[in-house]
A and B are shown apart, each in its own frame.
Chain A
């Protein structure tokens, strides 16, 4: 098990699948679909194997030795004159308690999205090729430990996503696709700049004792590696760390999406086909918060500490603003999209507490939101496939017509509200416990509880409008779930209920890493204040 490069397989299996899909003739529609299903299925199996071999006590974060399933090779190495600098990029992958839940989430959501893609009938070959390329990008982001590698995967997702929304999307797909592309590219230029800035500020000591500039995230996290003149080095009195932190944060925040950078999300969601909405909400949004936790937090711990109140503030705005917007929607899918914005606010709030409870809550919320929102979008997909409308007011009484479906709907809705016994409750409770526990974020956390109330309001109202009441005669022909839809909804429901009743497996998974992160930020606070007084 130790020598098997499981992370590379997880990441690059989809590329292999893409090649197969591209080779297969256009008419072989079934084999194209089956290939994708097999590949994503294998990915799921691999991620479960990974979980089974996972060492729960290893912390990771900034400690290279406690990362697991590590693969590290030199990728680009250009030795040279001192003034041109030694360019060294590693192919460096590994997982810890922060990334493992998200690797698992990616595998689950992608597999289910593949089943959901069964109904795609336009240019199948292109669709699945792009789908698999997207899969590689997502998986890669969660396992990369070299900033350069991370950035490549981060950017790799943009193009497939553009095409997936732009070709297979709804009526305003072109607008939504370009908006998504421009927004995220705008965000990633800041990430690129900070990446280069960090590269010139920190030096890694090689085995032979020589020092080189580095893209290695773990080396960048080590405060002793900073050079005296680096532009992002705390030793340099004119350093730009503050601006870099904000830039990096904006880059990631666009992906979350955090208010006021959220406007691309409703458009993208409404226009994207169901499977892509599922991936977008289930996995892509987590990249923003994951990036903050993986890159911003450990590299700029002192600024994280100082600015945690602002992160919480934006979390709060996201929660309440998203909820209000959701309440005003007439389009079912748009409502879910705004509820996503609201729920991602909980992640921000939890993160900003900087204590074990809050960060665990945030990571758990990422996972739970991934599964719950995937369900919600599938639910919208089910009704849209049959009725070809998403207008909330057009429905009513679907509960009588489609009882089993409505059963799943209730589970998903109540999980989203945060009803005890379902997974959403655990993570939201942890987020609030963490938020109350921290002096800085307490008041903001208290205000944010309003979000729960608003969440219940719009969810229940939707439930009432669509599923209860008088059945509209137009919908007398609607049939209940098909076997394929069971396949998608049942596993997610099981996960939601299981983690609601017994969240320990997931919490144990991240516990060591979260503790390590909290310790790192507290230690760093001491270290950085010894350099200068902030």
Chain B
């Protein structure tokens, strides 16, 4: 009996090797930091080693799909499937870049005695995200979301001595805890209705019972609020500009990419697993009719992108501008979810893979420039394109890609999104989204205008180390290559759209 349990346990532990490695790295980071407290040089090296080993394990399990920690039948806590592996890879790539960014970040380096915590907390976030993308149980979802949030609250305020930094952290904690409280309330209502916290069990109960519509809707919307907070959907976005502006740029980049990826993965799995009615035909998901997901999501997405784009028009701080731009992008991504089809899901995955590189790239260059001129204000960017042509050009390419103009990869992301929308006959929505793109051009181009169109006599010397030069090139490569040849990316996304469940 005991051997059976042990075998079962070890069998299931195999499924979470990547998470275990991450946890071990976290512990190692803390211990190394204590032992070798003088030299912080090898902390990032250790982190990178941990990430690479994790990466190998994730790639190893790519393509397999299995449930882990199942209680009976297919009812399980975790799903290891193509979908979760894809998002884990994205999260790992983002983390890798953020660790590399942190090495050159002046803000992070200024708190050198606390760097052990910095890297350890990043790993805390990653573990949270990893569980989030494959969790099937509301309790596990809530716990991993909290792990993610708590680590990021601290990281947002990591540079304690700056006012805006502490402000960012405090705001983040207040908004975060409120929304997670609301989410927990929603979960408890859902538990009250169905008597289970497992998504599969809830799904099978929903299929055969008539839950009270209004209570159910309230519960779902409350859970949605919690997720919406993570992916900064309007009206749960209020923290975003302040936190993005106040946090160290490396963390801002991390929040805008990785934690958003985890949030989207959670949203998609939650919708698809909980509400699946029957096997999908034509790639369109057959969902239980309790909640009109499409209308709800389209509504939120349009409000989000329109708000994000219009608010960004007035921003003079580059970090804030990128914060609003990331809100707008959350809107576009949400539109992919709203299609509720595999085509839409594929569009979201392609969009996210590209968004990862272009957004990280834009934040990285803003960070490098801020390291030297201590400012992210658009006024201080005037004429910078002439004193630092390489950084200027690279930033221009990232921003053009964010706008979605060919021949950059950003266009491909948008293209797949619109293909999914047109295929679902959501023409009006597609037109609104495209008009939003035109609006977004205006604020991205404002940055280019400051960089290249205005000339000043003031010259800023920014030396880019070979290390940073290579990072930028590595970030630029996918933007330019996938812009003209996107087959590999699409094939990868296509191979990983499988979500365990109906």
CB-based contact B282/A178 at 8 Å: no
Q: Is the CB of A84 within 8 A of B438?
A: no
* Complex Cα–Cα for A166 and B437 (A): 21
Cβ-defined contact, B487 with A76, below 8 A: yes
B434 close to A193 (CB less than 8 A): yes
Q: Do A178 and B449 have beta carbons less than 8 Å apart?
A: yes
- Decide yes or no: A76 and B485 within 8 Å by CB, A84-B283, A193-B418 being known contacts: yes
- Those of A163-214 within 8 Å (CB) of chain B: 163, 166-167, 173-174, 177-178, 181-182, 185-186, 189, 192-193, 196-197, 199-200
A193 vs B346: C-alpha distance when bound (angstroms): 19
Does A78 make an interface contact (CB < 8 A)? yes
| CB-defined contacts of A185 to chain B, threshold 8 Å | 405, 437-438, 441
Q: Is the CB of B406 within 8 A of A151?
A: yes
Chain B residues contacting A4 (CB-CB under 8 Å) are none
B residues 467-502 in Cβ contact with A at 8 Å? 485-487, 490-491, 494
Given A152-B406, A155-B406, A197-B422: A189 and B494 within 8 A (CB)? Answer: no
Q: How far is the CA of A77 from the CA of B490 in the complex (A)?
A: 10
CB within 8 Å for A81 and B283 given contacts A159-B405, A189-B435, A189-B438? yes
Partner pick for B407 among A78, A156, A200, CB 8 A cutoff: A156
Judge if B290 is at the interface, Cβ distance under 8 Å.
no
Complex interface: stretch among B17-25, B214-222, B304-312, B423-431: B423-431
* Min distance, Cβ A386 to any Cβ of chain B, angstroms: 25
Query: Please, how many angstroms separate the alpha-carbon atoms of A83 and B449 in the complex?
Result: 43
Task: From the candidates B281, B284, B422, name the one contacting A231 in the complex (CB within 8 A).
Answer: B422
Please name the residue on chain A nearest to B397 by beta carbon.
A159
Query: Within the complex, which residue of B411, B427, B449, B494 is in contact with A166, where a contact is CB–CB below 8 Å?
Result: B449
Bound Cα distance from A185 to B407, whole angstroms: 14
Is B452 close to A, CB under 8 A? Answer: yes
Which partner residue on chain A sits nearest B396 by CB separation?
A: A159
What DSSP secondary structure best describes chain A's contact surface?
A: helix
A83 pairs with B422, CB closer than 8 A: no
> Chain A contacts of B418 at CB under 8 A?
192-193, 196
Verify A77–B406 contact, CB threshold 8 A. Answer: no
Contacts of A178 in B (CB 8 A): 442, 445, 449
B386 to A, closest residue via Cβ: A123
Q: Is A380 an interface residue when CB atoms closer than 8 A count as contact?
A: no
Residues of B within 8 A of A181 (CB): 441, 445
- In whole Å, how far is A419's beta carbon from the nearest beta carbon of chain B? 42
User: B233 an interface residue at 8 Å Cβ cutoff?
Assistant: no
Residue B342 is within 8 A (CB to CB) of chain A in the complex: yes
Residue numbers in A under 8 Å from B301 (CB-CB): none
Provided the pairs A159-B400, A163-B452, A174-B449 are in contact, do residues A83 and B343 lie with their beta carbons within 8 angstroms? Answer: yes
Residue picked from A75, A84, A85, A151, most chain B C-beta under 10 Å: A84
Q: How far is the CA of A311 from the CA of B491 in the complex (A)?
A: 44
Contacts of A85 in B (CB 8 A): 343, 423
CB-defined contacts of B283 to chain A, threshold 8 Å: 81, 83-84
Cα–Cα, bound, A166→B487 (Å): 35
Bound-complex Cα distance A267 to B339 (A): 41
- Contact among A78, A156, A173 with B491 in the assembled complex (CB-CB below 8 Å): A78
Min CB–CB distance A266 → chain B (angstroms): 20
- In the complex, which residues 412-426 of chain B have their Cβ closer than 8 Å to any Cβ of chain A? 415, 418-419, 422-423, 425
CB-defined contacts of B494 to chain A, threshold 8 Å? 78, 80, 84
With A186-B438, A240-B427: A84-B342 Cβ-Cβ less than 8 Å = yes
A446 touches B (CB below 8 Å): no
* Interface membership of B453, Cβ < 8 A: yes
- In the complex, chain A residues whose CB is within 8 Å of the CB of B430: 193
Question: Which residue from chain A places its CB closest to the CB of B421 in the assembled complex?
Answer: A196
Identify B490's interface contact among A75, A78, A167, A231, CB under 8 A. A78
Q: Which residues of A contact B490 (CB under 8 A)?
A: 78, 87
Q: Which of A152, A173, A174, A192 is within 8 Å of B434, CB to CB?
A: A192
Task: Give residues of chain A (147-163) contacting chain B, Cβ–Cβ below 8 Å.
Answer: 151-152, 155-156, 158-159, 162-163
Q: Provide the residues of chain A in CB contact with B415, threshold 8 Å.
A: 192, 196
Do A166 and B422 touch (CB < 8 A)?
no
A156 to B411, CA, bound (A): 12
CB of A14 to closest CB in B, whole Å: 14
Docked complex: B14-51 residues within 8 A CB-CB of A: none
* A425 to B452 Cα, complex, angstroms: 44
**Knowing that A166-B452, A185-B437, A186-B438 are A-B contacts, what are 11 other residue pairs whose CB atoms are under 8 Å apart, sorted by A's residue number?**
A75-B485, A76-B486, A81-B283, A83-B281, A83-B283, A158-B405, A162-B448, A185-B405, A189-B434, A193-B422, A193-B431
A interface with B by C-beta (< 8 Å): 75-78, 80-81, 83-85, 87, 123, 151-152, 155-156, 158-159, 162-163, 166-167, 173-174, 177-178, 181-182, 185-186, 189, 192-193, 196-197, 199-200, 231, 240
- Which 3 pairs, one residue from A and one from B, show the smallest C-beta to C-beta distance? A83-B283, A189-B434, A196-B422
Q: List 12 A-B contacts (CB under 8 A).
A: A78-B491, A84-B346, A123-B386, A159-B400, A162-B448, A182-B441, A193-B418, A193-B422, A196-B415, A196-B419, A199-B419, A240-B427
B residues at A contact (CB < 8 Å): 281-284, 342-343, 346, 386, 400, 405-407, 411, 415, 418-419, 422-423, 425, 427, 430-431, 434-435, 437-438, 441-442, 445, 448-449, 452-453, 485-487, 490-491, 494
